[in-house]
Amino acid sequence: MRFLILTTIAVISLVSLSHQANAKVDPLQQAFNDVNVDGALVLLNDSSGEQLTNNSVRSQQRYIPASTFKIPNSLLLLEAGLVKDEHTQFVWDGVKRDYSSWNRDHNFASAMKYSVVPIYQKLALALGEDKMSKGVRLLNYGNKDISGGLDSFWLDGELAISATEQVQFLQRLYHNQLPVSERSQRIVKTMMLNEANSDWVLRAKTGYGVRQNKKIGWWVGWIEKEDNTYFFAMNMDLDNTQELPYRQAIVRQALKNLGLM
């Protein structure tokens, strides 16, 4: 009898383990597991308002926005008249930098696409601390703290924003609901175009920040489909620059896991 009970328990245990092994992994978390990194992805369904994440705690945690700040920054520069539109030209200053894509002339759209930090730093200084501070508060962007240097606060200063706040900000931009002109919002959305095909349009911006020796990678944006739009914001811990391609790979894989791409 005792042998029968033990055998039954063993069978139940094996069945339980089998069910656990076959249980579906969160499609968002699976994308992180595939490349063995830690991070959070928030996905917001525009129509239903449903919000998904693989990490509810981290999705609320604020991090330096790095070059994802080029989205609100571009809005403020357009509003101030420092940049006319996406075609405004910037002549290379001749200084050779580590990123070869920076060592040439750019227009405003390509400056965003290639995250040309020197151009945005000069424009931030031209905008001035008062207008920048008021603008960030007006947009209600993250913690709204621009301390740490007018030309670097979004790279290694005190400005911080969560993935959840990012998708909320992007949704307002998508619907032209930010407290700036519709023209500026439309121009920035044009500049954010990454890829388009017959099924969807992808608009997004990457970010790579280092603050207090902590490296953070971002990819934020949205995918427009015929019947709906999905906003996303992903941040991840980075050990080295070789992991930078994971930013887009994680989001793309998660969207594929959900049948959205």
Q: What is the pLDDT of residues 114-161, one digit of tens each?
A: 999 999 999 999 999 999 999 999 999 999 999 999 999 999 999 999
The predicted structure's pLDDT at residue 50: 97
Q: What percent of the chain clears pLDDT 70, i.e. is strictly above it?
A: 90
Percent of the chain with pLDDT over 90: 88
What confidence tens digit (pLDDT) does each residue in 243-256 have? 999 999 999 999 99
Residue 21 has pLDDT above 80, yes or no: no
Structure confidence by residue, pLDDT tens digits, 65-79: 999 999 999 999 999
The side-by-side arrangement of strands in the sheet containing 214-225 is: 51-53, 39-45, 229-237, 214-225, 200-211, 193-196
**Residue count of the chain:** 261
> Would you say residue 199 has pLDDT above 50?
yes
Look at the alpha carbons of 187, 188, 191, 194 in this order and tell me if their dihedral is positive or negative: negative
The whole model's pTM is what? 0.89
Angle between helices 182-191 and 70-80 (to 10 degrees): 140
* pLDDT surpassing 60 at residue 219: yes
Query: Is residue 67 annotated as part of the catalytic site, yes or no?
Result: yes
User: In the predicted model, what is the mean pLDDT of the chain?
Assistant: 91
Band of pLDDT at residue 36, cut at 50, 70 and 90: very high
Three-state SS at 210: strand
Q: Is the pLDDT of residue 22 over 70?
A: no
Q: Which is catalytic among the residues 59, 67, 115, 162?
A: 67
Environment class of 6 (CB within 10 Å of its CB; exposed 0-12, middle 13-18, buried 19+): exposed
State in words which class domain 27-253 has.
Answer: alpha beta
Average pLDDT on 213-229 reads: 95
Give the H or E element holding residue 41.
Answer: strand 39-45
User: Tokens standing for 133?
Assistant: 């501070």
In this structure, what token pair is assigned to residue 188? 């920035």
Where is average pLDDT lowest: 34-48, 135-149, 159-173, 206-220?
A: 206-220
Which amino acid type is present at position 107?
N
